[in-house]
């Protein structure tokens, strides 16, 4: 196949063999989210770029390096959604959800697009199960979000993970902290990586979780946001931690966890897989974003949520051999031994499916022998044969492929015969 027709780098097809995993992830996400009163929302795959490329978001990798933007034929500047939070907040405002009882609890299972460097667990199209609880700043909502996410992992059987937790303050305490942080880095700039020299001006918080080698020696000595929280943020964080203790949710305080997106305030968190063979990439992350709705033109409205990367969760489920059952084999394979029987076969297959059976139809263009081989390789319980003789006397030959026994039954009795065992 010519290279030019292949799927673009970093995106992939999801083939039938992986669908049982996806179904289980989706069904578990829906069940868990709904049990906490979250309602599903679907936002468009593309939005106006401005929803994501906000003034405040400049300096983040998401906006500077990763977002896919394009002009449509009418000249509108659009973006494939790189994440769900800003899109859900846009929908919250657009549909007047501020007038509903707060918080409005929403969840989504969606694909997202980022021009990331593809590698295991990092793709250019990926899926998240995410929630957003908008309109209530209480620490109990933070605890609820974390409880919901750990319930999702636990229900999937993924019990080995670490929750890293931090608070990164708000518009009251962060500006003074950033002054301190810049002062600390001011005489070290020429020894930092290029990214951090740029971040120093536009997004200094991000210097704290830089992964590049030159920046590592300076991180331990940097001032910590946790030591610089205002009273309200410190109190909020203490309450969140207390509630997590009440819920028996273990966490590791991670003072350098600042997150890559611009909108976070106060609580931030990431879940990392633990145990052997893991690559320590986040399987879910999120936090509070009490200023985002305002950035999008609404009145000050707090919010909190997370996004959990479904491909990464699936990699971990496979690593732990926690795969779901594969799809059950079909009840019957319907072999058509005579072209004249095609119509009768299609009608019979339809009747059997209506009665609750899974039926794979063969076609008369292939020999009976090859159709029987196919029935066996599919693992069908029964092979049903419709040929000239069966057509003439209104019967169907039913072969039990588990023991090779065979009988001919009236066409009206087939459903009862194959569904009774
Ligand atoms: P995020 O940390 O950018 O946050 O992404 C959340 C999760 O999505 C990550 O922890 C990871 O599991 C998965 N993920 C991110 N990028 C990729 C990728 N290139 N390939 C595969 N998986 C990936 C957000 O997106 C926020 N909207 C989360 C949030 C919701 N915060 C508040 N509410």
- Pick the residue whose CA is nearest to atom 16 on ligand 1: 122
The whole model's pTM is what?
Answer: 0.93
> What local confidence, expressed as pLDDT, does residue 280 receive?
67
Q: How far apart are CA 365 and CA 371, in angstroms?
A: 10
User: The tokens 């909020």 sit on which residue?
Assistant: 236
What is the layout of strands, in order, in the sheet containing 77-80? 46-48, 77-80, 69-71
Query: For 332-419, CATH number?
Result: 3.40.50.800
Average pLDDT over residues 336-348: 94
- Pick the residue whose CA is nearest to atom 5 on ligand 1: 307
Q: How many angstroms is it from 385 CA to the middle of ligand 1?
A: 52
Q: How far apart are CA 45 and CA 333, in angstroms?
A: 39
For 347-376, give the DSSP string. Answer: HHHHHHHHTT--EEE--TTS-HHHHHHHHH
User: For the stretch 59-85, what's the b/e string if a residue is b when 16 or more beta carbons lie within 10 angstroms of its beta carbon?
Assistant: bbbbbeebbbeeeeeeeeebbbbbbbb
Q: How many angstroms is it from 260 CA to the middle of ligand 1?
A: 9
Going from N- to C-terminal start, the domains of the chain cover 3-173+229-319, 332-419
Cβ neighbour number for residue 291 with a 10 Å cutoff: 19
Local confidence band at 279 (pLDDT 50, 70, 90 cut-offs)? low
Q: Which atom belonging to ligand 1 lies closest to the Cα atom of 114?
A: 19
- The mean pLDDT value of the chain amounts to 95
> What local confidence, expressed as pLDDT, does residue 418 receive?
94
Q: How many angstroms is it from 282 CA to the middle of ligand 1?
A: 8
* CB contact set of 413 (below 8 Å; sequence gap of 6+): none
User: The tokens 């990439």 sit on which residue?
Assistant: 281
Q: How many angstroms is it from 22 CA to the middle of ligand 1?
A: 17
Q: Collapsing DSSP states into helix, strand and coil, what is residue 143?
A: helix
Q: How many angstroms is it from 356 CA to the middle of ligand 1?
A: 40
Q: Check if 302 has its Cβ closer than 6 Å to any atom of ligand 1.
A: no
Mutation test residue for ligand 1: of 111, 128, 278, 280, the one with most atoms within 8 Å of CB:
128
Q: Check if 128 has its Cβ closer than 6 Å to any atom of ligand 1.
A: yes
Q: Collapsing DSSP states into helix, strand and coil, what is residue 223?
A: coil
Q: Check if 114 has its Cβ closer than 6 Å to any atom of ligand 1.
A: yes
* CB contact set of 339 (below 8 Å; sequence gap of 6+): 364
> What local confidence, expressed as pLDDT, does residue 277 receive?
67
Average pLDDT over residues 335-341: 93
- Pick the residue whose CA is nearest to atom 21 on ligand 1: 122
Q: How far apart are CA 201 and CA 73, in angstroms?
A: 36
Q: Which atom belonging to ligand 1 lies closest to the Cα atom of 283?
A: 12
Q: How far apart are CA 83 and CA 62, in angstroms?
A: 9
Q: How far apart are CA 112 and CA 90, in angstroms?
A: 16
Q: Check if 311 has its Cβ closer than 6 Å to any atom of ligand 1.
A: yes
Q: How many angstroms is it from 284 CA to the middle of ligand 1?
A: 6
- Pick the residue whose CA is nearest to atom 14 on ligand 1: 309
> What local confidence, expressed as pLDDT, does residue 260 receive?
86
User: What's the DSSP call for residue 196?
Assistant: H
User: What's the DSSP call for residue 119?
Assistant: B
Q: Under a CB-based contact definition with an 8 Å cutoff, are residues 398 and 386 in contact?
A: no
> Tokens representing 178?
């950033």
Q: Check if 57 has its Cβ closer than 6 Å to any atom of ligand 1.
A: no
Q: Is the dihedral of CA 287, 289, 293, 295 positive or negative?
A: negative
Percentage of the chain exceeding pLDDT 90? 88
CATH of 3-173+229-319, one of 3.30.1520.10, 3.30.930.10, 3.40.1030.10, 3.40.50.1000: 3.30.930.10
Find the distance separating the first CA and the last CA of the chain, reported in whole Å.
46
Q: Is the pLDDT of residue 326 over 90?
A: no
pLDDT in tens, 47-104: 999 999 998 898 889 999 999 999 999 999 999 999 999 999 999 999 999 999 999 9
Average pLDDT over residues 249-262: 93
> Tokens representing 3?
């290279």
Average pLDDT over residues 198-212: 89
From the list 79, 89, 85, 88, the residue with the least C-alpha distance to 114 is: 79
Q: Which atom belonging to ligand 1 lies closest to the Cα atom of 85?
A: 27
Mutation test residue for ligand 1: of 285, 287, 305, 313, the one with most atoms within 8 Å of CB:
285
From the list 73, 81, 70, the residue with the least C-alpha distance to 44 is: 81
């Amino acid at each position: 196949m010519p290279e030019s027709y292949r799927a673009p780098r970093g995106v992939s097809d999801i083939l039938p063999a992986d669908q049982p995993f996806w179904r289980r992830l989706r069904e578990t996400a829906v069940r868990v989210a709904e049990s906490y009163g979250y309602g599903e929302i679907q936002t468009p795959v593309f939005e106006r770029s401005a929803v994501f490329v906000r003034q405040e978001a400049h300096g983040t990798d998401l906006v500077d390096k990763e977002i896919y933007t394009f002009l449509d034929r009418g000249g509108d500047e659009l973006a494939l959604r790189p994440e769900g939070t800003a899109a859900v907040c846009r929908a919250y405002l657009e549909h007047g959800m501020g007038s509903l009882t707060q918080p409005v609890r929403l969840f989504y299972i969606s694909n997202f697009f980022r021009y990331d460097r593809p590698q295991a667990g990092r793709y250019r199209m990926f899926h998240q199960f995410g929630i957003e609880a908008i309109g209530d700043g209480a620490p109990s909502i933070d605890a609820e979000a974390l409880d919901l996410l750990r319930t999702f992992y636990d229900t999937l059987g993924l019990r080995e993970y670490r929750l890293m937790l931090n608070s990164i303050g708000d518009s009251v305490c962060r500006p003074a902290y950033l002054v301190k942080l810049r002062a600390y880095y001011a005489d070290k700039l020429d020894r930092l990586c290029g990214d951090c020299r740029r971040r120093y001006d536009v997004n200094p918080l991000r210097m704290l979780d830089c992964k590049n080698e030159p920046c590592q020696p300076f991180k331990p000595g940097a001032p910590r946001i946790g030591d610089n929280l205002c009273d309200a943020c410190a109190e909020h964080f203490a309450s969140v931690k207390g509630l997590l203790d009440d819920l028996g949710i273990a966490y590791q305080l991670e003072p350098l966890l600042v997150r890559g997106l611009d909108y976070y305030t106060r609580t931030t968190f990431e879940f990392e897989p633990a145990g052997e063979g893991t690559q320590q990439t986040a399987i879910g992350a999120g936090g509070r974003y009490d200023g985002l709705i305002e950035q999008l033109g609404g009145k000050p409205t707090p919010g909190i949520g997370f996004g959990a990367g479904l491909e990464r969760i699936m990699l971990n489920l496979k690593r732990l051999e926690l795969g779901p059952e594969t799809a059950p084999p079909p009840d019957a394979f319907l072999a058509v031994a005579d072209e004249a029987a095609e119509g009768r076969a299609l009608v019979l297959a339809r009747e059997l499916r209506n009665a609750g059976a899974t039926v794979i139809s063969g076609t008369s263009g292939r020999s009976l022998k090859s159709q029987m081989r196919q029935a066996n390789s599919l693992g069908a319980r029964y092979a049903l044969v419709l040929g000239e003789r069966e057509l003439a006397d209104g019967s169907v030959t039913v072969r039990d492929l588990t023991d090779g026994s065979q009988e001919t039954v009236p066409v009206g009795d087939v459903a009862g015969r194959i569904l009774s065992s």
